Amino acid sequence: MNTASHTQRGQWVATSAVLAAILFATFAASVTTVAAQSPPSPQDKPRVVVGPVTSEVVVHWNAVQDAGYHRIGWVSKEDYEAAVEASEDWLNAFTSVSVANSGQVSHTIAHLTPGASYWFIVGSSDHRYGNPRWSLWSELVTLPGGPAACAGDRDALTALYDATDGPNWRNSVNWLSDTAPIDEWFGVSTDADGCVLVLYLDSNDLAGTIPAGLAALSRLRSLHLGNNDLTGAIPPDLAGLDDLRVLRLVDNELSGEIPSELGNMARLSVLDLDGNELTGPIPLELTNLTELRVLSLNRNMLSGPIPAEFGTMTNLTNLELWRNELTGELPTELSNLVNIRTLDVDENQLTGTIPVELGNLTNLKFLWLRQNQFTGEIPVELNNLSNLVVLGLDGNQLTGEIPAGFGSFARLERLYLYDNDLIGEVPAELGNLSELEILYLYGNRLTGEIPAELGNLTNLEGLYLHRNRLSGEIPSTFGNLASLEYLILDQNMLTGAIPPEFGNLAELKYLSVNRNQLTGEIPPELGNLGNLEQLRLDNNGFTGQIPLELVNLTKLEQLHLDNNQLSGVIPAELVNLPELALLYLSSNEFTGCVPAGLLDVADNDLDELGLEACQ
């Protein structure tokens, strides 16, 4: 420090001391004390420490056993000086609060001005409005913050601009301007002191590395740099952003390990690093983030186990770890996450059984365990998850039967159980799932008949039962599925005819019943399916002619009728299907000739029919 700085500091100390002396004398003269009736006062000066929040302090004093009330008072140096300068009574700027004495020796004073300086005093009295006996004044306390706290914000923003190819950002309005304040720079929001609170530059074509200098934004609460082209490592220096609540770096090309220092960001509530190229284990230090509500590490290359210590993060509502390379078992400790709404560990390499303790997570709405290597039976305890909206267990090695209790999920909209080794029948109770929109049961070893009760699922949009061992007839109740768009029943052992009620499925886009043992004629009612795009009836035992009503399917793109026992002539009217791009009719018993216009369909097998083209 140079001589001038020493001199200035000495002058400031001297001035403050003089002001304090005047303050003490004036206050003592202004307050009448009644020593005989007043209880003892707190000894010495109160001790004042800055609180955890920028605008708070905690005032400490010595215990006063016989006092009925304590009064904590304060005045700012700025207000005192302004009153003296204006020859006004500084007591008008004096503020105090009274608290009943319950043996406490401290009190938090909130809503002070960041960057301002204050003196504090503590008094005690018998009654709330009694005349206090006061302590000495405290030392002058200066709160952190104020405009001086963000003096380096402009330099930090400039460093980001320079490091991420600022001239080629999608929007850089006012950045580096000498005239516009930084709260007018695109994506920047500030507080009343001009300190940066929010930096929102998602999808803005930032390219380069994140500069460590961003840590100078001392009041930053939200940092959004997602959907850009950022590379390199996440700077550990970001952990210095003590006030940060949201850190969102999603969908970049960041690499390296997650800095363990991020576990020091005590106020962080959202940490979203989804969609990068991060490697290594999940740092245990992240479990120190007790305020964290959303942890999203999806779509990276993280390895190692899921830390059991995550079970201590009881404020978590979203734990999203899907599409990584995580191994080991799913920790039973996750059952302690009483506030969890979304638990997603899809597409990892997790093993072992599904913990029965997950049934304790009664607030859970989305449970995604898909595409792992889980084994064993589906725990019946999952029936307890009464708020469940989505249950994804597909792509594992689960065995046993589908729990009939799943029919009690009153809010369930999607059920994914496909590509496992499940056996037994499809529970009729699933017909109780009144909110169900998607039912994926394909790729298992399910047997028995399809429950007619599934026809009660009037909100169902997709029913996928293919690649099982289902038998019996297709329920006619399926004609009640007014919202159905996809009905896929192929590669089973179904018999009987296609129910004519299928003609009621006005929203149907995809109908596949191929590779079964279905017989009878193709129902002409299928011509009512005005939204149908694919009709797959191949590899069955259908007989009779192709219904002329199929020419009404103006959105039809694919028609698979091959490998049946169809007969008669091929309707020439099929040439009027404007979207038809695939037509398979081989291995039937057609007669006559092939309508010449059908030979123009891009993908067809008409040359295998052994019939001449019509002239």
Global pTM reads: 0.80
Query: Tell me: domain 13-142, CATH 3.40.50.300, correct?
Result: no
Measured CA to CA, the distance from residue 124 to residue 134 in angstroms comes to: 7
Distances (CA, A) of 367 to 29, 320, 390, 477: 70, 10, 6, 30
Alpha carbons within 13 angstroms on the beta-carbon side of residue 169 total 24
Residue ranges of domains in the chain? 13-142, 150-276, 502-508+523-532+547-615
Phi, psi of 523 (to 5 degrees): -65, 130
Q: Residue 327 forms beta bridges with which residues? A: 349
Tell which residue, 471, 491, 483, 538, has the closest CA to residue 509.
483
Residues of the chain falling short of pLDDT 50:
1-26, 28-41
Is 150-276 in the same CATH topology as 13-142? no
Question: Quick one: tokens of 482?
Answer: 């007014």
The confidence score (pLDDT) of residue 129 equals 78
Measured CA to CA, the distance from residue 422 to residue 491 in angstroms comes to: 16
Asked if 210 and 236 count as a contact pair (C-beta separation under 8 A), the reply is no
Length of the chain: 615
Asked if 405 and 381 count as a contact pair (C-beta separation under 8 A), the reply is no
Question: Quick one: tokens of 569?
Answer: 């002539």
Q: Is 275 helix (H, G, I), strand (E, B) or coil?
A: coil
How far is C-alpha 292 from the geometric centre of its chain's CA atoms? 12
In the CATH hierarchy, which fold is given to the domain comprising 502-508+523-532+547-615? Answer: 3.80.10
Asked if 408 and 430 count as a contact pair (C-beta separation under 8 A), the reply is no
pLDDT in tens, 585-605: 999 999 999 999 999 999 999
Measured CA to CA, the distance from residue 121 to residue 136 in angstroms comes to: 6
Superfamily of domain 150-276: Ribonuclease Inhibitor (3.80.10.10)
**Dihedral-angle region of residue 351 (phi above 0 means left; psi in -120 to 50 means alpha; beta otherwise):** beta
Asked if 384 and 406 count as a contact pair (C-beta separation under 8 A), the reply is no
The confidence score (pLDDT) of residue 43 equals 54
Distances (CA, A) of 80 to 20, 75, 76, 117: 10, 7, 6, 10
Asked if 128 and 161 count as a contact pair (C-beta separation under 8 A), the reply is no
Measured CA to CA, the distance from residue 187 to residue 165 in angstroms comes to: 16
Distances (CA, A) of 126 to 94, 102, 131: 21, 13, 8
Question: Quick one: tokens of 296?
Answer: 């999203």
Measured CA to CA, the distance from residue 396 to residue 379 in angstroms comes to: 14
The confidence score (pLDDT) of residue 15 equals 41
pLDDT in tens, 337-362: 999 999 999 999 999 999 999 999 99
Phi, psi of 560 (to 5 degrees): -110, 105
The confidence score (pLDDT) of residue 192 equals 82
